[in-house]
């Protein structure tokens, strides 16, 4: 991104090209049964930006990033990644089926679909075909709290599985890419080792390499260090910092405030399914405006 572009952007002169926004969540609502876990969540993540979502447990932050690659369904609102609506197709209200049965509210907030050509009728969300969802997920890497490495495959096999199966990459080529990724996360020597013989930190680094092997446009990290012993947190964060420096677009749910302060372009504070506050790490950590943020930070800092 050029400086001129930045300046123009700053004074609000030039509309950014659409491709510059990687993630756009608009008025996302989600219920687990009767529990309203995401309430009109709005969030934008631009290319090469690292956004860290913080907040107490149960605030909906993990649920939110799981919605971004459609591991969870949403009941209203829209999530776009690279301009593609994630997990759903839009149809004119009245056509199609309600996306969930049994809930009192389906699309309570009528939202004008972005491709509704002139007609201002409310649009309904219909879950997309599995094939399309799978295609969208190829662009979105995800790292889980509990690693979820495939235990019946070696470290290298874990990494090359999706490129071979999904992208149709030749095995040799995939192995070359895989070895380079192992090198990058500092585990070149562990190529032939099964996950259960690796430490938590090593497993998580393999999991990051596995996600990167698909060359995603966006990486989601769901509390990547929460299941680790304290002395292993550093090595995983180091890999993530490196990734952020290289310009990967990342959404990180984390309790690592040091990481957020150092790496995040933006920190988002969530509480009770609502985005309470967002801003630069400095703003959020040093001069939080919202009472809920202040009490949360006072407890963990």
Residues that bind other proteins (CB under 8 A): 69, 71, 130-131, 134-135, 137-138, 140-142, 144, 146, 148-154, 161-162, 165-166, 194-199, 207, 210-211, 214
Of the two residues 145 and 265, which places its CB atom closer to other proteins in the complex? 145
Distance CA 150, CA 192 (A): 13
Q: How far is the CB of 75 from other proteins (least distance, A)?
A: 18
Min separation Cβ 137 and other proteins, Å: 5
Return the number of the residue (159 or 284) whose C-beta is nearest other proteins: 159
The residues, any chain, with a CB within 8 Å of residue 214's CB and separated by 6 or more, are 138, 139, 141, 162, 163, 166, 167
**Residue 232 Cβ vs other proteins, minimum distance, rounded to whole Å:** 12
**Cβ–Cβ under 8 Å, residues 217 and 82:** yes
CB neighbour list of residue 266: distance below 8 Å, 6 or more residues apart: 49, 50, 51, 52, 278, 279, 280, 281
Name beta bridge partners: 125: 90
DSSP three-state, residue 85: strand
Does residue 199 contact residue 235 with C-beta atoms inside 8 Å? Answer: no
Helices (H), 39-147: 61-68, 130-137
Min dist CB 142 to other proteins, Å, is 4
Q: How far is the CB of 86 from other proteins (least distance, A)?
A: 12
Q: How far is the CB of 68 from other proteins (least distance, A)?
A: 10
Q: Which of 206, 84, 74, 63 is nearest to 137 (CA)?
A: 84
Residue 51's nearest CA partner among 183, 248, 210 is 248
Nearest residue (CB) to other proteins, 93 versus 133: 133
The minimum distance between CB 145 and other proteins, in angstroms, equals: 9
Backbone angles phi, psi at 134, to 5 degrees: -60, -40
Nearer to other proteins, 53 or 123 (CB): 53
Q: Kindly tell me which of 75 and 203 has the beta carbon lying closer to other proteins.
A: 203
d(CA 137, CA 122): 27
Contact (CB, 8 A) for 77 and 28: yes
Residue partners of 130: CB distance under 8 A and separation at least 6: none
CB of 151 to other proteins, least distance (A): 5
CB closer to other proteins, 79 vs 267? 79
Q: Of 7, 15, 28, 122, give the one whose Cα is nearest residue 73.
A: 28
Q: Kindly tell me which of 140 and 252 has the beta carbon lying closer to other proteins.
A: 140
Among residues 144 and 285, whose Cβ is nearest to other proteins?
Answer: 144
């Amino acid at each position: 991104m050029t400086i001129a572009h930045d300046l123009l952007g700053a004074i609000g002169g030039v509309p950014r090209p659409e491709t510059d926004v990687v993630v756009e969540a608009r008025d996302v609502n989600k219920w687990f049964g009767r529990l309203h876990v995401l309430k009109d969540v709005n969030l934008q993540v631009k290319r090469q930006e690292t956004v860290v979502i913080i907040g107490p447990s149960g605030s909906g932050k993990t649920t939110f990033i799981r919605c971004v690659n459609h591991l969870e369904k949403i009941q209203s609102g829209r999530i776009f990644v690279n301009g593609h609506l994630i997990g759903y197709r839009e149809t004119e209200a009245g056509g199609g089926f309600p996306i969930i049965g049994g809930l009192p509210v389906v699309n309570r907030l009528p939202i004008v679909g972005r491709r509704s050509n002139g007609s201002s009728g409310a649009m309904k969300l219909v879950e997309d075909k599995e094939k399309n969802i799978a295609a969208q997920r190829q662009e979105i890497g995800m790292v889980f709290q509990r690693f979820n490495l495939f235990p019946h495959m070696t470290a290298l096999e874990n990494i090359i599985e999706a490129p071979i199966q999904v992208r149709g990459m030749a095995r040799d080529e995939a192995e070359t890419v895989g070895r380079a990724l192992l090198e990058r996360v500092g585990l070149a020597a562990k190529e032939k080792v099964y996950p259960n013989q690796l430490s938590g930190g090593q497993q998580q680094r393999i999991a990051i390499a596995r996600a990167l092997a698909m060359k995603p446009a966006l990486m989601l990290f769901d509390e990547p260090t929460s299941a680790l012993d304290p002395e292993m947190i550093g090595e995983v964060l180091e890999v993530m910092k490196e990734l952020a420096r290289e310009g990967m677009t990342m959404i990180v749910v984390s309790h690592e405030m040091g990481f957020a302060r150092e790496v995040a372009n933006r920190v988002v504070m969530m509480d009770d399914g609502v985005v309470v506050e967002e801003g630069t790490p400095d703003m959020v950590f040093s001069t939080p405006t919202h009472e809920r943020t202040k009490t949360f930070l006072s407890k963990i800092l």
